[in-house]
Structure 1
Amino acid sequence: MSLADEWRAARPKVSGVHVDSAACSRQSHAVIDAATRHAHHEAEVGGYVAAEAAAERLDAGRAVIAELTGLAAADVIYTTSASDALDRLLSSWAGERTLACLPGEFGPNLAVMAANGFEVRPLPVDGIGRLDVDAAARALAADPPALVHLTALASHRGIAQPIGAATDVCRDLGVPVVIDAAQAFGHLDCALAPDAVYGTSRKWIAGPRGVGFLAVSPALTQRLRPRIPPPEWGLEAPVLSLLELGETNVAARVAFSVALDEYVAFGPARIRARLAEVGALTRRRLAEVPGWRVIEPIDEPTAITTIEPLGGADPQRVRAELIAEHGIVTTFADVRRAPFELTAPVLRISPHVDVTAAELDQVADALARYR
């Protein structure tokens, strides 16, 4: 059985065509059952007793996250989302608040940076928004910021950033690097052992909504001062335990851990290769659709494809009508997703490994109606 067949067989039958994995992938039967079983256990013994009983399961999830990021299981905490992870990290930063990031940085990330008082500097990129590593190395050496923040794969454009080379540059310069792996985790190779990395459950790992992770190296952890509880209280507790503090949906964390196990069982390298293949298939097919332009290079090794209208079609309206009239789920991306790079809204197509050629034909044929 092919990877596509295995992936599809593990999930409830799809209603329509789901090409929206960059927003939220379809969970498997096992992931759904894990959340349900934990909720039942909470009802039987109480939420906090059930959480204690799930500790080993949650630790197993931390171990997989560690394996996929190059850090250690002890460096990993669960959060409610990628945005929550970034806020917990930046709000705890004790030093100078300057940060270098890509011009195409995710809009909500920029909002978190601003809310935490960070001065943001743009890193140099080429014509399609990919980091110019050599130019970045020179800029960072000349005027190093306190942190470098790299979004490995953007929300509005399926361009894989050279995060490996960039991480090496930052390491050589002694500048801590934080990787936003929300779109890259489970999609691209993220085992780079950066100073910090964060992501989410619901995208390419195909876990539930409402849970994410943050992994921080011991060296960077020593430089953090969590704001809750106030440091002046002098309470002795490990920094990461303070960052993870708070009420949470344990069932979602348990389900995320199961999704991580499934992902490893399918084979990360196998999934990455198939997603690159899916991206190329999608772009080739959509490049044939009149009235739309594919933004990414055909051979970009990602499964995110963004298309822009050439004849005045409204991507927001098209997205709504694709759902209502064709059962096709895509994403409308407006300029707020990348306010310093995106100049007009786009439509995002992001199939997972189980997409079929027939489904891509359905998407292309439906799009051809909107010019």
Structure 2
Amino acid sequence: MSTADQLAHSWRAARLPAAGVHLDSAACSRQALAAIEAAAAHARHESEVGGYVAAQAAAPALDAGRAGVAALTGMSADDVVFTTGSGNALELLLGVWSMARSVACLPGEYGPNLAAFAAHGFATRPLPVDDLGRVDPEAASESLRADPPAMVHLTALGSHRGVAQPVSDLAAVCRDIGLPLVIDAAQALGHLDCAVDADAIYSSSRKWLAGPRGVGVLAVRPALADLLLTPQWAGPLSALQCLEIGEANIAARIGFSVAVGQHLAAGPYDVRGRLAALGHLTRATLADVAGWRVVEPADEPTAITTLAPTDGADPAQVRARLIAEHGIVTTAAGTERAPMELVAPVLRVAPHVDNTAEDLEVFAAALRTVS
């Protein structure tokens, strides 16, 4: 059995059988039973001893989760705090930002991120990109040197298009100029290499790491964390530590920590390779489906494939029919996901390592039927 087949088999064996064909891991992957059971065990412990005593007992498991995230991001465990998701992580960071409020970001920036920047008084400016929305590091270097923003924000992999950004190249540019780089890794953590020398990086649990919903992480290097606003009540706590204080679903954080451990045990390099191969296979399988155009290059190293309708199909209606009539789950991505770049809704297909060529053929046949 090949490494890819072993990975697919172990991933599948760790979960309940899928009810149909799940091609929606860019939205929410299927949790492993171990993550579910760990969260349930913590909830039972809360019932036995109380939530705060149980949380204290869970500290080693949470520390392991932070250490796992640190390993995936090139940070240290002390740099990592839990949040309720990617959006919450960005809101927390922007809320304690002490520098000027200007940010350079992609024209295809995620809509809710743009809303968060606006709500916190950040002026945005676009980074130079190619026709696929991929940042041009050389042009970005010239632009950023000419008019430096207070922050460079890069969504490593978009919600509306499976195009991987050259994160390491832009990180080198920012490091050379002296600009803080913040990475939105909601679609990248557990999918692409995220140890990219960023100053801050944030992500959610429920996508490629296959943790529970309602959990996220924010990691900030000390050099940037030391510049963040610290509340007057903080005492000995750092600004970063203060971000984690408050009501929290500890059971979900435990489940996430288990999911991170499973990802590390599976081998992040092997997972990335399997996901890239599935992305290539998906695009090849869907290339000739009438009424749809594959947006990404065939060899893009991601598992996300977006399909743009060419004959007037409504992605939202198609998604609903795929679920109702064929038991196939995908995502209909509206223009609100990238309001400065996406001109019409698309259908997004996102297999995980346990999906097969047969799954993709079944999907292609169903898509032809409902289209």
1:237 shift after superposition: 2.1
> What is aligned with 1:147?
151
CA contact (8 A) 2:234 2:242 kept: no
1:245 shift after superposition: 1.4
CA contact (8 A) 1:291 1:370 kept: no
What SS does structure 2 have at the residue aligned with 1:368? helix
Query: What TM-score, normalized by structure 1, do the two folds share?
Result: 0.97
1:27 aligns with 2:31: yes
> What is aligned with 1:45?
49
> What is aligned with 1:269?
269
Distance 2:322 2:124 in 1: 37
CA contact (8 A) 2:321 2:370 kept: no
Distance 1:67 1:128 in 2: 30
Question: Any runs of at least 4 consecutive aligned residues in structure 1 with deviations exceeding 6 A, and if so which?
Answer: none
Q: 2:364 corresponds to which letter in structure 1? A: A
> What is aligned with 1:134?
138
Distance 2:98 2:326 in 1: 51
Q: 1:17-55 CA deviation, whole Å, 9 max, x = no partner? A: 000000000000101110111011111111110000000
1:358 shift after superposition: 1.1
Q: 2:344 corresponds to which letter in structure 1? A: A
Distance 1:65 1:357 in 2: 31
Q: 1:328 corresponds to which letter in structure 2? A: I
Match of 1:115 among 115, 119, 144: 119
CA contact (8 A) 1:99 1:149 kept: yes
Q: 1:268 corresponds to which letter in structure 2? A: P
> What is aligned with 2:217?
213
Q: How many residues align?
A: 367
Q: 1:145-203 CA deviation, whole Å, 9 max, x = no partner? A: 00000000000000000000000100000000000000000000001231100001100
1:238 shift after superposition: 1.5
Distance 1:298 1:95 in 2: 41
1:236 shift after superposition: 4.1
CA contact (8 A) 1:313 1:370 kept: no
> What is aligned with 2:365?
365
Cα RMSD (Å): 1.0
What SS does structure 1 have at the residue aligned with 2:154? strand
Between the two proteins, what is the percent identity of the paired residues? 62
Distance 1:124 1:240 in 2: 31
Q: 1:214-248 CA deviation, whole Å, 9 max, x = no partner? A: 0000010111115xx4x4x5744211111111100
1:288 shift after superposition: 1.8
> What is aligned with 1:319?
319
Distance 1:182 1:75 in 2: 18
What SS does structure 2 have at the residue aligned with 1:362? helix
Query: What TM-score, normalized by structure 2, do the two folds share?
Result: 0.97
> What is aligned with 1:89?
93
Structure 1, gaps ≥5 residues long: none
In the TM superposition, 1:333-344 aligns within 5 A as 333-344=333-344
Q: 1:369 corresponds to which letter in structure 2? A: T
